[in-house]
Amino acid sequence: MISDSPSPRHGYPGRLLVFEGLDGSGKSTQAALLGKWLQAQGYRVFFTEWNSSDLVSSVIRRGKKKGLLTPTTFSLLHATDFADRFDRKILPPLRAGYLVVCDRYAYTAFVRDAARGCDPAWVRTIYSFAPRPDRVFYFRVPVGVTLRRKVASRLKINYYEAGMDMGLSDDTQESYVRFQTRLKREYERIAAGDAFTIVDATRRVEEIQAALRAEVKPLLENFPTVARLTHDG
């Protein structure tokens, strides 16, 4: 049986920075803040997020709306979406020497698909084309905290985000807690093997951002800024 050991690193001139975590963990906010800070430091930055491929995103939306997605179909559609996103939106800037900031990467599929009952090794095989990032920031946060944040934001909890398709509970919030707990368990299971950098996502926004900047600085030693590229050219 194929293990879920990590893929080789990408080996391109750029840097690949990935943000992972539960919905409501604050990772998207922090990814955006870090990207803006890196740009302000003079680096070329490209930002990309999950489900951003035009190729299959509309198919996924229609499938979700009509409740047609089985766990396997769900997995394969997201893999297709990610493959297109990787080929068109991640790989080119990596080759061109950009800092690529990813709000979710293949690890999201590893976690969500396993939580829905797919074989983790099978999922890893599907995503075997995706190389290891230079850094994966995993935003660790209690499920209860993410629920409180969701409620406070007044945003409706998504049907699939709550795992309602799994039949875990007829109550949306209860189903959310049960499904997100499954996701958290999977994240924790793969954290060590995939060398995640653990981020305490219960801290203040400013504290988390300062810690992230300190983490990426070693990756930027001798990494060219726009001004240096222009001067060298």
Residues in Cβ contact with 201 at an 8 Å cutoff, skipping those fewer than 6 apart: 21, 25, 26, 27, 139, 140, 141, 145, 208
Task: Give the tokens for residue 217.
Answer: 């600085």
Tens digits of pLDDT across the chain (233 residues): 345 655 677 889 999 999 999 999 999 999 999 999 999 999 999 999 987 666 666 666 666 666 667 888 888 988 998 999 999 999 999 999 999 999 999 999 999 999 999 999 999 999 999 999 999 999 999 999 999 998 898 778 888 889 988 899 999 999 999 999 999 999 999 999 999 999 999 999 999 999 999 999 999 999 999 866 554 55
3-class DSSP state of 186: helix
Pairing of strands 99-103, 197-200: unpaired
Q: At what angle do helices 27-40 and 205-216 cross, to 10 degrees?
A: 50
Question: CATH topology for 15-213?
Answer: Rossmann fold (3.40.50)
Measure CA of the first residue to CA of the last residue in the chain; give whole Å. Answer: 50
Q: Please tell me the pTM assigned to this model.
A: 0.89
Residues in Cβ contact with 126 at an 8 Å cutoff, skipping those fewer than 6 apart: 75, 76, 79, 109
Res 1: pLDDT: 36
In 22-175 the beta strands, taken as DSSP E runs, fall at: 45-49, 99-103, 135-140
18 touches 202 (CB < 8 A): no
The span from the CA of 212 to the CA of 19, in Å, is 11
- CB neighbourhood size of 51 (10 A): 15
